[in-house]
Structure 1
Amino acid sequence: MNNWFKAAAVIGLMACSSGIWAQGRLPVIQQTSFRKDSVYITKFGAIADGQTLNTKAINSAIDACNKKGGGVVVVPAGLWLTGPLVLKSNVNLHLKKGALLQFTKDFSEYKLVAGNWEGLPQMRNESPISATNATNIGITGYGVIDGGGEAWRQVRKEKLTESQWKKWIASGGIVSEDGKSWYPSEQWLKPTKMKNPGEITPDRTPEYYNSIKDFLRPNLVVITKCKKILLEGVTFQNSAAWCLHPLMSEHLTVRNVTVLNPWFAQNGDGIDVESCKNVLIENSKFDVGDDGLCMKSGRDRWGRERAMPTENVIIRDCEVRHAHGGFVIGSEMSGGARNMWISNCTFIGTDIGLRFKTTRGRGGIVENININNIQMIDIPGEAILFDMYYMSVDPVALAGEKRELPKVETLPVTEATPQFRNFVIKNVVCNGAAKGIFIRGLPEMHVKDIHLENMVLQAEKGIDCQEASGITFKNITILSNHTNPVVDIINSDRLTFDKLNYKKDSELLFRVAGERTKSINIQNTDASKAKEKILYEFGASEQNVTIK
C-alpha cells in the first residue's frame, strides 16, 4: 500500500488540501450491526407460489422488525412475487439460499413519487426497493432479486437478433414509426419526443405525470440520504433502469454482490454511486447494459446547486463484463468527485475500460483518483479514456452508425466548465482494445496532471492526446497494429514520455500537431525502432520537443 501512495507524490497530490488524500490514508467506512432477532415473512402471510402478491406481508415484516428495535427479516427459499418494498432503520432484509424475490410487472402496483434522475428532481415510479433517511440497513444473503425490467425498457432492434426482435414485437407494446425501437406502450413512446418529461415543475399536474407513467422507469434499489448501509451476497438483476442507486448517503459497503442486466438494457447501469461519502465496493461482479461501476454527483446546475461530491471511495477486487465502461466517472459529475482508490479489478469485454466522461455545461471537478492493478481483455473501445466531449451515445458505434466529430472551439471558462485533474493510474494490462489511451480535453480547460505508469496495452491504435497538460507516460508499452503514428499529440503541453516501448518498424512514432503544443519531453525511449521519429504539423515545431 505504501508504494501505491508514493505515486501520488509524482504530480504533487500529497500537497492538496483534501484531508485523507493529503495524509495518504484510506477512508474508514462505518459498518452496520444488526440484532440477531429474526422475523420470517411467512409469519405475516407471505406465500411462495409465484402468483400471490406479497407486498403487504413483506412490508409488514419490515415494519414490525423496525418497531422492535431492528433485526433480520428473513426471505426463505421460494419464489416470492411482490410489489415495492421500503426498508427501515436497523433492518437487514436477508434472502436465504434458493430465495427469488420477483418484482411484479404490473405497473399499477408502483405509485408515482417525487424522485431524482441524474441529479434532476423528477417524478418516478416507486422503486422496487427503497429507503430514505434510514440508518443501519442491509440487503444480504444468497438469493436473487429480480426487477422485472423487460416489462419497462425500450429495446432497439439493432441490438437483437431477428428472432429476438420478432418475439419482442409479439409480446405486445408498440414499435416506433421508423421500425427501429420497441416500446412497452404508447404512454412510454410519447414522452421520448419531450425535453425532461419527468421534471417536477409547478405547472405540471398529477394528471400529466399519470399520462406518461410508463416512461418514468424506476431504478431497482434506491437508497436516499441513509447512513450505514450493507449490500452483501445477493444477486441483483433485471432492473428497469439503473440497478443499484445509493444517493446522498454515507458509509456504504457493497460486498460479494452480483449485478446482472441484459447487455442491450437501456440505462441498465450496475451501480451508480451519486453524491455519496465513504464508500467501499469489493469482491463484486457486474455484467450489465450500461456502465458497470459508476460515480456520479448530479447533472449541470442541479448537481452544482446540490454541491455534494461523491468522495472517499474504495473499490477493489471487482469484475466487470459487457458494460459500457468498467470503472466510470460521469458524465453527471457536476457536484464533483474526489478521493478514490480503485485496485485489483478485471474488465472483460466492457466497451471502455477506465472511462472518465463529461461535457460543457456540467461543471464540477473530478480530482484525486488513484487506480492500481487493472486487467482488461477484449475492449471494443478505449482501454483508458478521458473525454470532455461526451455526447450521450453508446461508446462504441453500431454497424452502419455515423458520428460527427465535435466542433472544436474555445469558449469562456465559467462554473459550467468541467475539470479532470490529479489522477494516478498504474499497473494496467490490456489485451485487445480499439485504442490504448485517449485523452481529449477542452481548449479552455485541459485534462490536467495525469500520471500513467507501468502499462502494457495491446490495441489497434496507441495513444491519442488532445488538449491536455501535465501528462506523464512512464514505462508504457504500446503494442498497436496501426503505427502511423503510435502517439498522436494535438495542442497539448507539458507532456513527458519516459521509457515508451512500441513495436519495431512502426511507421511513425510521434505526430505532433497544433500551434499550442509545447514542452513535449521524450526520454529513455529508443526512437530508432520507428521508420520515422516525429512529424510536425499545423504550427507545431521541433523547438517544442525535447529528446534525451
Structure 2
Amino acid sequence: MKHISGSLCRSKIALACILISSAGMALAQQKVSLPIIQQVKIKNDTTSIITFGAKGDGVTLNTESINKTIASVSQKGGGVVLIPSGLWLTGPVELKSNVNLHLKRDAILQFTDDFNQYKLVEGNWEGRPAWRNQSPISGTNLENIAITGTGIIDGNGGAWRMVKKDKLTESQWKTLVASGGIVREDGKMWFPSAKTVKGSNTKNAGVVEPGKTAKDYEDIKDFLRPNLLVLTNCKKILLEGVTFQNSPAWNLHPLLCEDLTLRNLQVKNPWYAQNGDGVDVESCKNVLIEGSTFDVGDDGICIKSGRDEAGRKRGVPTENVIVRNNVVYHAHGGFVIGSEMSGGAKNIWVYDCSFIGTDIGLRFKTTRGRGGIVENIYVNNINMIDIPGEAILFDMYYAAVDPIVLAGEKRDAIKSVMVPVTEETPQFRNFYIKDVVANGAEKAIFFRGLPEMNIKDIHLENVTIQSKKGIEIIEATGIFLKNVNVITENSNPVVDIQNSSNINIDNLQYKPGSELLFSIAGEKSKGIKVSGTDSSKAKKATNVASEVNKKALEMSK
C-alpha cells in the first residue's frame, strides 16, 4: 500500500502562473497563480474489514463490521481500511479522521436497498437545510480522510429514483412498471413507493421547519433520497481512482470543505437518473478535480454555494478551484456553475477538458431570488462534440427543467420584465473563455441576462463552433468576442443582439452565404463595435430594428 502524501499541488509546477489571454483581454498582461491544495497524509498501516467479521458474499449486511473497522483505525491514529475482493453489502458508512478507505480492483461496496437502514437526518438539499435519508457514505468535521483504490462504490440508486417515461424505451418502461411501484395518473412517471409519490406532491418536501422532528417526515421518507457521498465541514480530502456509481441523488457532495482533491475517478449514473449529478462542490475552498470521467443523469461537474436566502445567510462562496483534464459524457452540463450559487463563486480555472454529448457544454445558470456573485472564471482549451443544446450558455432565467425539451413537451416563452435590484439579484461577471472547439451543437453561444442586471464582462477568444444556430446576446453588457468562428446551418442571423451594450466583435468568421450576419433589436442596444469582419460574405450584413439608435452599430474593417 502506498503512503499518501502531498504531491502535485505542492510542486512548483502546480504553482506556475497562467497567462489567461493575449492582447484584447482585460487580464492580458497579468499572471494569475493557481491556488494551493493541501494534500492528505495518512499512515499506511492497513486493517481489513474482514478483521471485524465482514463477509463479501453479497448477502451479509456489513454495516457494523465496516464502521467498527473505520472507528478502530481512527482511534489508533489512522491508517488504511481495506475493502478486499468481494461483493460487500452494507448500510451507511461513516468516515473518520486520518482514515483511507481503500477498495481493491475487484471489490464492490454496494449499499442496501432496505430503506430502514437509513435514518432521517438533518442535512442539506439543493442549497437549503433539509431532512434527508442518511447518505451511504458521510463524514462531518473530519480532517485528513481519503477514499482510494480502483474498486466500485454502488449506491443502489434504482431503488430510490422516480423515472420519467419519456426517458426510457418502450421495453425498458414496461420492465420497470412490471417490477412494482406506482405509475402517476397521467402515465408519465414511475415511483418506487407510495411515500415517494406523496413526497413528490409535497411543497418544499423535507425542508427543515422549526418544531418538526424526523417523525414528521416519516410519511415521505422514501422521497428524501440521499446523495451517495456527503462530506460536511471537512479538511484535507482525497478521492482517487474509485468508481462512484448509481447514486440515489447526487453522486459526490462536498459541503463547506477545504483542500479537496478528486483525482482519476469514474463517476457514473444512468442518463435518466433524476438529480443524478456527478459532483456538486458547494461552498468549498481550495479544490482540485483532475483526470476524472463523468457519465451521469444531471450536471457533470458543478459548482454551488447555497440557495436563495439560506445560501446568502451562509455566505460562503466556492473559491479557488482547479478543474482540469476531465472528460464528461452524458450530463445536463459538462462544467456548470449554479443555479444554487447564492453564496457566490470566484477564482475558478477550468482547462484541458472534453465534453462528449453533454446537453450543454459550458453552462452558467441562475435566476432571480438567488443573489450571489459569480466572477473571475477562467476557461481554456475545451473540446466538445455532439452537444444537443448550447455549446456555451449564460442564462439568468433558469427554471429547474431539463435543458433539452422532451418530445411533446411545451414550455412558455420567457417574459422580460424589469424589477428592482436587491440582495436577491444574482450577478455573472468577469469570465475569460479561450480556445474552445465544438463539433456539433444546437446553438453556438447564448447569453441571457436580466433587464435589471445584465451579464457583464464576458471575454471569448479563439472559439470555433459548428452548430445549427449562431450567437444570441440578450441583456448583456461588455461582451468581447475575438477570433470567433461559428459555422452554422441555420444562420439567420449569425449574431442576434437584443437590448445589449458595449458589444465588441473582432474577426468574426462565419459560413459564406449566410442569410443575415447581424440582427440588432431593443432600445437599450448601443455601443456595438464590429471590426476585422468581412460582412460581404453574407447575403445581408445587418438588420437594425427601428427602435435602435442609428449610431448603435459601428462596423470597421
Q: TM-score, normalised by structure 1?
A: 0.97
Q: Distance in 1 between matches of 2:205 and 2:211?
A: 12
Counterpart of 1:402 in structure 2 is: 410
Change (3 A) 1:89 1:2: closer
Alignment of 1:10-159 (within 5 A): 10-11=25-26, 24-159=32-167
The CA deviation at 1:476 is: 0.3
Contact between 1:354 and 1:384, CA under 8 Å: does it hold in 2? yes
The two structures, once aligned, show a CA RMSD in angstroms of 1.2
Query: Which AA in structure 1 matches 2:320?
Result: N
For residue 546 of structure 1, give the secondary structure of its aligned residue in structure 2: strand
* 2:173 counterpart residue number: 165
Q: How does 1:101-500 map to 2 (within 5 A)?
A: 101-500=109-508
Per-residue deviation at 1:199? Answer: 0.9
Contact map agreement 1:8 1:424 (CA 8 A) in 2 = no
- Name the stretch that deviates more: 408-417 or 205-214: 205-214
What is the alpha-carbon distance in structure 1 between the residues aligned to residue 407 and residue 241 of structure 2? 38
Instruction: Report deviation, 1:119.
Output: 1.7
Q: In 1, Cα distance between the equivalents of 2:309 and 2:18?
A: 39
Tell me what 2:539 maps to.
531
Asked if structure 2 preserves the Cα contact closer than 8 Å seen for 1:4 and 1:372, the reply is: no
8 Å Cα contact 2:21/2:27 also seen in 1:
no
Looking at structure 2, the residues matched to 394 and 150 of structure 1 have their Cα atoms a distance apart, in angstroms, of 20
> Are the counterparts in 2 of residues 372 and 426 from structure 1 also a CA contact under 8 Å?
yes
CA deviations 1:182-225 (Å, max 9, x no partner) are: 10111111122221110111243433211111011000000000
* In 2: Cα distance, 1:407 partner to 1:290 partner: 26
Aligned-pair identity (%): 62
Check the 8 A contact 2:121/2:214 in 1, yes or no.
Answer: no
Which stretches of structure 1, 4 residues or more, deviate above 6 A after TM superposition? none
1:377–1:430 contact (8 Å) kept in structure 2: yes
Aligned mates of 1:176, 1:504 — CA distance in 2: 51
Matched residue type, 2:138 = S
In structure 1, the gaps of 5 or more residues are 15-21
- Letter aligned with residue 119 of structure 1: G
Q: What does residue 510 of structure 2 align with?
A: 502
Cα drift, residue 11 of structure 1 = 2.5
| Bigger Cα displacement from structure 2, 375-384 vs 399-408 | 399-408
The question of whether the paired residues in 2 share the 8 Å contact of 1:417 and 1:445 is answered with yes
Q: Matched residue of 2:174: which SS?
A: helix
Q: Is 1:546–2:543 an aligned residue pair?
A: no
CA separation in 2, counterparts of 1:121 and 1:246? 15
What amino acid does structure 1 have at the position aligned with 2:356?
I
What's the TM-score, normalizing by structure 2?
0.96
Counterpart of 2:64 in structure 1: which amino acid?
Answer: K
Q: Could you give the per-residue CA deviations for residues 339-367 of structure 1, whole angstroms, max 9, x where no partner exists?
A: 00000000000000000000000000000
Q: How many residues align structurally? A: 541
> Equivalent residue for 2:20?
5
Q: Post-superposition shift, 1:9?
A: 7.9
1:11 is paired with a residue whose SS is: coil
Structure 2 residue runs of 5 or longer lacking an equivalent are: 1-15
Change (3 A) 1:225 1:213: same
Q: Counterparts of 1:444 and 1:71 in 2: how far apart (Å)? A: 54
**Does the CA contact (< 8 Å) of 1:11 and 1:422 recur in 2?**
no
C-alpha distance 527-9 of structure 1, shift in aligned 2 (>3 A): closer
Instruction: State whether residues 18 and 31 of structure 2, in contact with CA within 8 Å, keep that contact through their aligned partners in structure 1.
Output: no
Secondary structure at the counterpart of residue 58 of structure 1: helix
Contact 2:20 2:432 in 1 (8 A): no
**1:3 CA displacement:** 5.9
CA contact (8 A) 1:357 1:390 kept: yes
CA distance in 2 between partners of 1:486 and 1:538 (Å)? 20
Tell me how far apart the structure 2 counterparts of residues 3 and 207 of structure 1 sit (CA, whole Å): 53
By how many angstroms is 1:541 displaced? 3.5
SS of residue matched to 2:544: strand
Distance across 1 between alignment mates of 2:162 and 2:225: 10
